[in-house]
Amino acid sequence: MNKLLRINNYLMNILKILCWKVCFTKKIKNWFLFNLLKKVRFDIAGKSSVNIGICNQNREKLYIGVNNGQLTIGNHCFFNINCSITCLKKITIGNNCKFGNNVVIVDHDHNFITQNPEFVSDSIKIGNNVWVGANVTILRNTVIGDNCVIGAGSVIKGTIGPNHLVIGNIHNKKIIR
C-alpha cells in the first residue's frame, strides 16, 4: 500500500510540473520532472526568470514569488513546511541546501522614506551546503558562504564567510570540518 501511494504521489507530481511548464513556459527554465515539490504556490510575473535544479523537494506549503526578478535554486535542496521565497531582483541558492520550517527569503524592503520606488531591492546569494534552521529570515544584500549553519530564529543581512555558524545575529564561530 505504501509503495502504491508513493507511485501515485510521484505521478501526481509529474502532472503538476507539466501544468506549471505550460503556465510558465518562458519563465521557468531547467525544470526537471524528478523534483518532489508539493503544495507549491508560484506567483511569477513580468520579465522573471526561474531556474530550478534537479532532485529538490519540500514538505508542503512552499511559496515562490518572482516579479521581474531572477531566481536560481541549485540541485538537491530541501524546503521544510511553510517556506517563502520572494524575489524582485536576484536570489541564488546553491546546491545541497536545507531550509527549516517557516524560513523567509526576501530580496527587498518597502521603501519607507519615499513611495517612489515602492521597494528597495538588492540580491541574495546562498552558497552550497548551507543549513538554515527554523524561523530564519534572510534579507536583501546578503551573501552566505558555503558550508554555513544558520541557527533557528536568526535574522540575516550582510556577508557571512564560508564555514561559519550563525546564532541570532552573531556570526563569529568557524565550523571545523
pLDDT digit string, tens, across residues 5-26: 666 666 666 666 666 666 665 5
Q: Where are the beta strands (DSSP E) in the chain?
A: 28-29, 40-45, 49-52, 57-58, 62-67, 70-73, 78-79, 84-87, 90-93, 98-99, 104-106, 108-110, 119-121, 124-126, 131-132, 137-144, 149-150, 155-160, 164-167, 170-174
The rounded distance, in Å, linking the Cα atoms of 98 and 74 is 11
**Which residues have C-beta within 8 Å of that of residue 139, sequence separation ≥ 6?**
106, 109, 124, 155, 156, 157
pTM: 0.80
For residue 140, what is its C-alpha cell? 536583501
Q: Which domain holds residue 59?
A: 2-174
% helix, strand, coil for the chain, step of 5: 10, 45, 45
Structural domain count of the chain: 1
CATH code, domain carrying 15: 2.160.10.10
The one catalytic residue among 108, 110, 164, 171: 108
pLDDT class of 106 with cuts at 50, 70, 90: very high
Alpha-carbon distance of 111 to 130, in angstroms, equals: 30
**pLDDT beyond 70 at 115:** yes
Residue 57 has pLDDT above 80, yes or no: yes
* 110 included as an active-site residue: no
Q: How many residues does the chain have?
A: 177
